[in-house]
Amino acid sequence: MATREAVERLKKNWLADPCYDLEDVEGFEEHRDELLAYRLGWEATWKQEHQDYLARYAEHLGIPGDVATAANIERDRATRNTLAEKAAGLLLHYLAEHTHGSPDARAEIRRIVTYLLDAMDASIDAKIALALAKLRQEEP
């Protein structure tokens, strides 16, 4: 049977990297119910914190209460940032032979990627503005 100290240490370690089902850790079977409750409690807390964040983000976007749209926008921005990092990494890898990994070249590539993303964002913003304008014109 695991000691109380071992159970608390396991909980602390799980909080640092909660990528597994805490209650299924071998050697802690007798504490399964406690560990399950602990994991579910933290997951509920994190879910509520995320919902609160999305509510604030929706307010910031000017769409108070529309948490679903805020979540979609947040997910799209995260995807955009991930893809931007991948694009910059690929460019850096591809050009490394020609630039010898120069810090100036790296900074310039990041600037290029940023300009491309800004241009894409502006294009999308313009399309959204046009669609909203058309919807406003259709209102009675």
Domain total in the chain: 2
Mean pLDDT taken over the chain: 85
Average pLDDT over residues 50-69: 90
| pLDDT cut 70: percent of the chain above it | 88
Same domain assignment for residues 10 and 46: yes
pLDDT, tens only, 76-121: 888 877 877 787 777 777 777 666 666 777 777 778 888 888 878 8
Structural domain including 47 reads: 4-52
Residue 63 lies in a domain: no
DSSP sequence for 9-77: HHHHHHHH---S-GGG-TT-GGGHHHHHHHHHHHHHHHHHHHHHHHHHHHHHHT-TT-HHHHHHHHHHH
